[in-house]
Amino acid sequence: MAVADSYVDYLKAFELAETGSKPAAFQLLAESLRLQPHNLAASRLAFRLLTEQRANTALRLQGHTGVMTSASYSPDGTRILTTSTDHTARVWDSRTGLQLAPSLDHDDEVVSGTFSRDGQRIATGTDGGKIAIWDASTGKRLVSSMELLGSAWSVSFSPDGKIIAAASEAGKVRTWDAATGKPLFPLIEYHESAYSVSFSTDGRLLLIATGDDYADLRDSRTGKRTLRLPRRNSIFSAQFSPDDKRVVTACADSTAEIWDAHSGAPTAVIMNHGFGVGSAEFNSDASLIVTASRDHTARIWNANNGKLMVSPLQHPAVVGRASFSPDSRLVATIAGDKAVRLWDTLSGDQIQLPVVTPDGSPNFSFSPDGSSLLIAGGSSGWVLDLPPNDEAPSWLANLLDFASTSNNFDQARKPDLVRMEAVRVQLNSSKTNDPWTLFGKWYFADITQRPISPWSHVTLESYVNLLIAKGDRSSLEYAKALSRPFPSWLAKVNSSLVKLPPEQPYSSRSVTK
């Protein structure tokens, strides 16, 4: 009974948090965790709400003047790559949010980008079909002679970094020698769009999702077809399993299907939706698949038998993409309401409020270690710390009670300062470094010494100084918003702002070709 009551309290808390009644949500989450400390949905939501209450900020990526079209981490997680309609791609420090190299300037909107597996190079594709390779550290253009008709929706390095492949909305696919930019075989042409191209883990095969009603497997060096995986409508996505033994496809005919990657035979695992399926992805050990559909749901399936693992993840709009976190404990989704949502894989519960982005279609990427979620929307990106997967400590319920009293409109409820001081002393004297203890220490730290978010190592003051040193208008405006409680910081920011020249409209911006 306690488990059921705990879950009901969590559901009520989520609803209240969505409507802005966060003090009441904190109270219900405290009750939920006292009834069931292992209610991960409740503890994860508590983490997100407490983080927002304590630090109304996050690591931001600011500098693009157009809409971001993609965002991803480097393989080691230390850098972030973004592409934009402002004709640039940019590389950022994932710990500070500062741009590392000069902007990678193009003569057209940049629609795709990726790091090589060793993180040393970057490939980008433009709306005009031009592919370029760059030094990821210096921003120097290394190869720029590669062209593909149509918008280059997908670019990919082979695992050894020797080949670059690209696919376009005009139905063209090609590979090049990544060192010289010379084509490896004649252009592959489809009647409809080529939605994506990727390599097998050994680099020998290309997998192409096409609008010609099939997924195509080809030799990556010769372009010769090895297999064709047919359906009755457009294949929007195709992905190898981590061991290359299977392929999962997402189709406009309302299905996702698993195939034997060596024989091309269907495995009889078909996953059905009510409308077209836009993406289908394996988790890290290929035991699960998550699909995203126009029927307003994402669904989590057993990859061996095609059975649903939890109830469909309901959204208020078309779901464009769904992906697992590296440890498979979470699923992130993008829907047509411009919101990114985060779900528990085992229960199907939503564990944080939707993150609504301002413009364009949002993008997301989990960090390789699974500690954060990168979200890009409009011209900005930001990094959200992800909650611990461990059972909530007993003090978390007390902290939620305390947080619920931080409401200027309800003077009847007074904070229990004695209990909170005991919790603070307990945490600060603890020698353990488990995630919840680290979070608790962060929560009680002085604002001038506290990192900007629980898993960050950059203090708020250091972050403001980094933004001031960067010196562009968007960085200084963000620094100003963060500095309002601190007159001396605010004076430094305003001093830098008044030295800036007047803003120029984007149309007058010169672009390096």
Please check whether residue 360 lies inside any domain of the structure.
yes
Q: Which residues pair with 322 in a beta bridge?
A: 333
DSSP H or E segment with residue 467: helix 460-470
How do strand 235-240 and strand 246-251 relate by DSSP bridges? antiparallel
Contacts by residues 191-196 (CB-CB < 8 Å, ≥ 24 positions apart): 192/234, 193/150, 193/153, 193/168, 193/169, 193/234, 194/153, 194/154, 194/167, 194/168, 194/169, 195/153, 195/154, 195/167, 195/234, 195/235, 195/236, 195/237, 196/153, 196/154, 196/167, 196/237, 196/238
Residue corresponding to tokens 């779901």: 319
The amino acid at residue 383 is V
Q: Which residues pair with 292 in a beta bridge?
A: 279, 298
Say if CB 237 and CB 195 are below 8 A apart.
yes
For residue 134, give the 3-state DSSP assignment.
strand
User: What is the distance between the alpha carbons of residues 465 and 185, in angstroms, rounded to a whole number?
Assistant: 51
- Rounded CA Rg of the chain: 24
Q: What is the pLDDT of residue 509?
A: 43
Contacts by residues 309-317 (CB-CB < 8 Å, ≥ 24 positions apart): 309/345, 309/346, 309/348, 310/345, 310/346, 310/347, 310/348, 311/348, 312/348, 313/341, 313/343, 313/348, 313/350, 315/341
Please check whether residue 288 lies inside any domain of the structure.
yes
Closest CA to 2 of 27, 55, 39, 51: 39
In terms of C-beta density within 10 A (0-12 exposed, 13-18 middle, 19 or more buried), how is residue 180 classed? exposed
- Give Cβ neighbours of residue 418 (< 8 Å, ≥ 6 apart): none
Closest CA to 400 of 3, 25, 9, 17: 25
Q: What is the pLDDT of residue 1?
A: 61
Please check whether residue 180 lies inside any domain of the structure.
yes
| Entry field: residues in the chain | 513
- For helices 417-429 and 395-404, the axis angle rounded to 10 degrees is 140
φ/ψ of residue 66, rounded to 5:
-120, 180
Q: What is the pLDDT of residue 55?
A: 82
Please check whether residue 166 lies inside any domain of the structure.
yes
For residue 425, give the 3-state DSSP assignment.
helix
The amino acid at residue 387 is P
Please provide the average confidence, as pLDDT, over all residues in the chain. 93
Separation in Å, CA 140 to CA 123, 164, 173: 12, 17, 25
φ/ψ of residue 386, rounded to 5:
-95, 150
Give the number of C-alpha atoms closer than 13 A to the C-alpha of residue 256, restricted to the C-beta side.
34
User: What is the distance between the alpha carbons of residues 316 and 177, in angstroms, rounded to a whole number?
Assistant: 44
Please check whether residue 303 lies inside any domain of the structure.
yes
Name the token pair of 408: 């200027």
Q: Which CATH number goes with the domain that contains 173?
A: 2.130.10.10
Q: What is the pLDDT of residue 413?
A: 66
User: What is the distance between the alpha carbons of residues 204 and 35, in angstroms, rounded to a whole number?
Assistant: 53
Closest CA to 131 of 148, 115, 116, 156: 148
Q: What is the pLDDT of residue 51?
A: 94
Q: What is the pLDDT of residue 299?
A: 98
Q: What is the pLDDT of residue 5?
A: 87
Q: What is the pLDDT of residue 411?
A: 52
Closest CA to 295 of 269, 311, 318, 327: 318
Q: Which residues pair with 73 in a beta bridge?
A: 80
Boundaries of domain holding 371: 138-385
pLDDT tens digits along 91-114: 999 999 989 989 999 999 999 999
How do strand 79-84 and strand 355-356 relate by DSSP bridges? unpaired
Residue corresponding to tokens 């040193």: 469
Please check whether residue 106 lies inside any domain of the structure.
no
Sign of the Cα pseudo-torsion (119, 197, 186, 172, in order)? negative
Q: How many domains does the chain have?
A: 1
Please check whether residue 241 lies inside any domain of the structure.
yes
Please check whether residue 486 lies inside any domain of the structure.
no
Query: Which stretches of the chain drop beneath a pLDDT of 50?
Result: 408-410, 506-513
Q: What is the pLDDT of residue 113?
A: 98
Q: What is the pLDDT of residue 502?
A: 81
